[in-house]
Structure 1
Amino acid sequence: MDAEFWHKKWADKDIAFHTSGANPMLERYFSALALSKGARIFLPLCGKTRDIAWLRQQGMHVAGAELSRIAVEELFSELGETPVISELGELSVYAAPGLDIYLGDIFALTSPLLGVVDAIYDRAALVALPTEMREHYTQHLIQMTDAAPQLLVNYDYQQSAMPGPPFAISDDELNRHYAQRYTLEPLHCESVPGGLKGQCPAQEKVWLLTP
């Protein structure tokens, strides 16, 4: 799975993963991060998620990383914002009050470029990456955010029953990636109604990762 896979998804409007409202799990468990107004929260592989609008309504400063220019441009259009665009190394930064989106390869985003992050909300990044990329991603995320606290949403199911994304992430795998730097607290677990994509039984889980 490479960048072209996601560019084609957005170009073809094959974005069933995008929902019209904020994620109910974010609304229910965001308070677990115990952030003050004005805190900066980072959303990796953010697309044009409506979670961004919801977080800004809570008084958060949102930073995101996204590969697709289509997604970023549609995000700002749907927010009714005109971004200030600047170049930052290999990345472009689309900025508006309380919002910074880094367009390009997330692995080109470093701690000095990203700046201070008070927390991470990972709803769509870890589950979007195949097995061979997840170790690289999690270590990169830890390094560039200095192991900021995380609210993480994942799916757990029999991977052989359905190809990802979203990919299955077991509890054991999550611990392998993060247990050395975080305490992992399960906040929620429920069966996905009708199965994931209507194809196989799955559980949706929410975790709080505390350094």
Structure 2
Amino acid sequence: MDTDFWLQKWEKNEIAFHASKPNPVLVAYFKELKLVEESRVFLPLCGKTLDIAWLLSQGYRVAGAELSQLAIEHLFLGLGLEPKISKLGNVSRYSATNIDIFVGDIFDLSHEVLGRVDAIYDRAALIALPEEVRNRYAKHLLEITDTAEQLMISLEYDRSLMNGPPFSVDSDEVNRHYKDAYNLKLLESRSIPGGLKGICAATENAWLLKKD
């Protein structure tokens, strides 16, 4: 994973990927995970997403992993929370009531450090990674979360027209990564208005990954 690329994006404030409101897929479909209140939801490569504030407002606990310390400082500032910071091996944990964000390389995050996870919300983690890293990421995610069920968003587009990030991850690849661990259900597939970055047509897919 090109850590310098993402750190520079945050340092230069080149964060067009940061949405200004909670993701509509999250709001529409998170209930499909059938979680009880105070369930702990893990957001890999979370940035300072407003989805975290939405999840907290719904009564869930949140855990996240993010490479950029700057992003997480902005996250807690936006939440109006003062984090308690502790060093755990190669990652730092920023904690406040109902929230724990682990800052560092996600591959340095272990199951023991992360703790219990009841569900995963992958808005843009898998598609943020190049092809050569995605297989490793998917396996690691299952390991550190004990194969928690997922709500996941992926993108598909013509790779000959542009390269990521975000990267195109088609349905065959999603199945290749996760079919042995979950039953996969495509909840929604929609064309992105105006295309991806105005360059090419793209489709956003919302997936439910369940174990039953």
Q: TM-score, normalised by structure 2?
A: 0.98
Per the alignment, residue 203 of structure 1 pairs with 203
Q: Secondary structure at the match of 2:8?
A: helix
CA offset digits 1:73-125 (Å, max 9, x no partner): 00000111000001111110000101000000100101111111000000010
Counterpart code for 1:135: N
1:76 aligns with 76
Unaligned runs of 5+ in 1: none
Task: Specify the alignment match of 1:57 in structure 2.
Answer: 57
CA distance in 2, matches of 1:171, 1:124: 15
CA-CA distance at 1:163 after TM superposition: 1.3
Distance in 1, Cα, partners of 2:119 & 2:46: 14
| Structure 2 match to 1:95 | 95
- Output the CA distance in 1 between the equivalents of 2:31 and 2:196: 27
Question: Could you tell me which residue of structure 1 aligns to residue 187 of structure 2?
Answer: 187
Distance 1:124 1:84 in 2: 26
Report the secondary structure of 1:160's partner residue.
Answer: coil
Structure 2 SS opposite 1:181: coil
Number of the residue aligned with 2:44? 44
Counting only pairs closer than 5 Å after superposition, residues 87-166 of structure 1 correspond to structure 2 as: 87-166=87-166
Distance 1:186 1:140 in 2: 23
Gaps of 5+ in 2: none
Write the letter of the residue equivalent to 2:140.
H
Amino acid at match of 2:62: V
Deviations 1:127-161 (A, max 9, x none): 10000000000000011111100000010111121
Q: 1:36 is paired with a residue of what secondary structure? A: coil
Query: Aligned to 2:160, what secondary structure does the other structure show?
Result: helix
Amino acid at match of 2:154: N
Shift of 1:64: 0.1
Number of residue equivalences = 211
Residues in 1 aligned to 2:142 and 2:61: alpha-carbon distance in whole angstroms: 20
Amino acid at match of 1:15: I
The percent of aligned pairs where both chains have the same amino acid is 55
Aligned residue for 1:174?
174
CA distance in 2, matches of 1:91, 1:192: 35
Task: Report the secondary structure of 1:70's partner residue.
Answer: helix
Secondary structure of 2:42's counterpart equals strand
Moved over 3 A (4+): none
1:23 match: 23
- The one-letter amino acid of 2:186's match is P
Q: Provide the rounded CA distance (Å) in 1 between the counterparts of 2:105 and 2:203.
A: 29
Q: Which amino acid aligns with 2:93?
A: V
